[in-house]
Amino acid sequence: MKIAILSDIHGNLEALRSVPESWDELWVLGDLVNYCPNPAEVVDFVRQNATVVVCGNHDHAIGASEDPRCSPAFREMAQAMQAYTESVLSDEQKAYLRQLPLSVQMEAGGQKFFLCHAVPADPLFKYCPREPALWKREIAAVSADILLVGHTHLPFVMDLGAKRVVNPGSVGQPKHGAPDACCAVWEDGAISLRSCRYPVEETVRKLFDLSIDIRIRRQLASVLQNGGPQA
């Protein structure tokens, strides 16, 4: 049994297509949309291929026309791209985003999983740094062996006694210092973090074709090219 675990695709079709497709199941931890040029195509891909999907803060924001409450460095970019994303998604695609669950429990290979976008106590919005004491409280609140989360775009695997927290990082907008699409793979009880190159300049080219402020386009391109915001 092989499960591909993706999060934070953010409308980046080139990055999504770069993820190897040799999986038995595809689990998606939210944020299908915003920031990159192909949100409609990403939503359609996930709808057609994913076994389970949970709602991210940007999915909620686009589906409900609300504030995604993202980190300060990204608020202006998110606002500009939200208007674009809302303009290209169909009513049916927005309805799909609205109905995504905040959390899901799954089982595979005798292990129990809890899936959410941010943290169990605040599935949409809370940013939780990689501090064991904080995650011990979060995972203690759920009945699961493995807690799968996204939101921060920073990949990690953290063992906390008999339990484990896994963040696969971001497929479409990595922030770990490299312009690579990130994901995780669970296979027969073993979990690993993966990353792969994708044609980032094609995504950047599409960004520069959009009718949004050139300053915002440059900021978005810089994040993609550098694997995170520049100081």
CA 103, distance to chain mean position in Å, is 14
Domains observed in the chain: 2-107+167-226 (3.60.21.10)
pLDDT in tens, 145-187: 999 999 999 999 999 999 999 999 999 999 999 999 999 999 9
Indicate the average pLDDT of the chain: 95
Asked if 33 and 10 touch (Cβ cutoff 8 Å), the reply is yes
SS3 169: coil
Is the pLDDT at 58 greater than 70? The verdict is: yes
Total residue count of the chain as it appears in this document? 231
**pTM of the full structure:** 0.96
Kindly give, in sequence order, each residue whose CB lies less than 8 Å from that of residue 48, ignoring residues fewer than 6 positions away: none
39: which residues sit within 8 A by CB, 6+ positions away? 11, 32, 33, 62, 85, 88, 89
Position 230 scores a pLDDT of 73
pLDDT digits (tens, 9 = 90+) for 64-79: 999 999 988 899 999 9
Q: What is the mean pLDDT of residues 13-23?
A: 92
* Count of other CB atoms within 10 angstroms of residue 71: 14
CB 95 within 8 A of CB 55: no
Burial class of residue 87, CB neighbours in 10 A (0-12, 13-18, 19+): exposed
